[in-house]
């Protein structure tokens, strides 16, 4: 039998989410933050797939929550500074996600929730939909203010 190294096979397994050019809002700082969120979701997926310890999964969920908070603050800072007309709707989407992730974090910590593909799919789909619909909507507005 051939010995398998831990990294073997990984290359053949698809990341659950990948960067797409369509995600770009034309603002370097925000694109970089979106890429980082994508990386964290992929790390979480990989850690779950590799059956990592609960503590490690919890750490990645915490990283996700903290980074999302920082990222939303960055976007909102620009939306407020330039007077984006749809700021209230945009912020309420951020707040709903923040609440949902805080709930996940708590339930994972209490042991009343087990991290599943369903949870990771929710994170992926939320991020994808939010970028493609809401973030792309502010992109031309912020670009027109000189942000790139």
Taking the complex as a whole, how short is the minimal distance between the CB of residue 71 and Fe ion, in angstroms? 8
Question: With respect to Fe ion, which residue has the nearer C-beta, 57 or 101?
Answer: 101
Using an 8 Å Cβ cutoff, are 17 and 38 in contact? yes
Alpha carbon distance 91, 96 (integer Å): 9
Angstrom distance (rounded) from CA 82 to CA 40: 29
Distance (Å, whole) CA 134 – CA 141: 12
Rounded to whole angstroms, the Cα distance separating 147 from 24 reads 13
Q: Does 147 bind Fe ion (CB under 5 A)?
A: no
Task: Return the residue of 75, 97, 119, 147 that touches Fe ion, per CB under 5 A.
Answer: 75
**Contact partners, residue 115, CB within 8 Å, separation at least 6:** 44, 48, 57, 61, 108
Q: Which is nearer to Fe ion, 57 or 135 (CB)?
A: 135
Q: In the complex, what is the shortest distance from the CB of residue 97 to Fe ion, in angstroms, rounded to a whole number?
A: 9
Place of tokens 């919890």: 58
Could you tell me which stretch among 15-23, 62-70, 77-85, 135-143 binds Fe ion (CB under 5 A)? 135-143
- What does the per-residue mask of binding to Fe ion show for 78-117, with x meaning CB under 5 A? ----------------------------------------
Is 135 a binding residue for Fe ion by CB under 5 A? The answer is yes
> Using CB under 5 A as the criterion, which residues of the chain lie in contact with Fe ion when the complex forms?
75, 135
């Amino acid at each position: 039998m051939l010995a398998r190294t831990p990294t073997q096979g990984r290359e053949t397994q698809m990341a659950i989410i990948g960067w797409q050019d369509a995600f770009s809002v034309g603002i370097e700082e925000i694109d970089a933050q979106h890429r980082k969120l994508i990386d964290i979701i992929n790390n979480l997926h990989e850690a779950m797939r590799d059956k990592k310890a609960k503590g490690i999964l919890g750490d990645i969920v915490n990283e996700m929550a903290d980074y999302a908070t920082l990222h939303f603050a960055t976007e909102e800072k620009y939306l407020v500074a330039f007077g984006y007309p749809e700021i209230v709707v945009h912020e309420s989407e951020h707040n709903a996600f923040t609440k949902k992730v805080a709930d996940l974090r708590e339930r994972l910590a209490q042991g009343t929730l087990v991290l599943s593909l369903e949870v990771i799919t929710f994170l992926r789909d939320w991020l994808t939909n939010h970028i493609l619909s809401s973030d792309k909507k502010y992109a031309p507005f912020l670009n027109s203010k000189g942000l790139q």
